Homo-oligomer: A and B are copies of this chain.
């Protein structure tokens, strides 16, 4: 039955840990700025800078690093020492080289889907960094195609799935906003795999009135779900 399907996976926090590294950096950032601003206010200001800069920087760690530097200068009224800015640069580079930690049962899931399934990766973020993470994950050979995109819209999913030429397509991921809603709007199935840590920007209500939405606890449940569809 699997020859009917294209199964597309999100990468960050679906195949491997990602948000935990952002949160660890935000924690270090808060400590660094503790003499200048209270932590809650800092969170708000950084989140505002990230959203404001998305249109310029897109997703990924380089833009996040630039937003941290901008926020540090702003909230300190320019009083932050340059040593702290150098520390932010170092935090950014460390995030870019963090080791890959696969989530539970990812490899089992990809094995179980087997060669008949058209398996692809659809992720946003910095092109080079996403390629490096896939290479380090050791999962590269499971994927028939890798699509690194600047935004996950219904049009992007439609275009990618049309090229795959299978009767059915499913997007699997931890972001209701980027993985599930636009994939379902594009006519595909959407399977939500919640992750404890998910960026607020990626949260949304589950879709109503569709039989193409599913939710599983971890990727180990995916092969059985697909077999039953």
Contacts and interface: CB of A to CB of B under 8 A. Distances in A.
A127 interface: yes
Interface in A43-88: 53, 56-59, 62-63, 65-66, 69-70, 73, 76, 78-83, 85-86
Contact of A73 (B86, B93, B127): B86
A150 interface: yes
A128 B125 CA distance: 9
Interface residues of A, number: 35
Given A78-B83, A85-B82, A150-B127, A57 B62 contact: yes
B128 A96 contact: no
Interface in A91-137: 92-93, 96-97, 126-129, 131
A226 B216 CA distance: 55
Contact of A148 (B80, B83, B127): B127
Contacts of A57: 62, 96, 128
A83 B78 CA distance: 7
Contacts of A148: 127
A64 B173 CA distance: 32
Contacts of A73: 82, 85-86, 89
Nearest to A65: B66
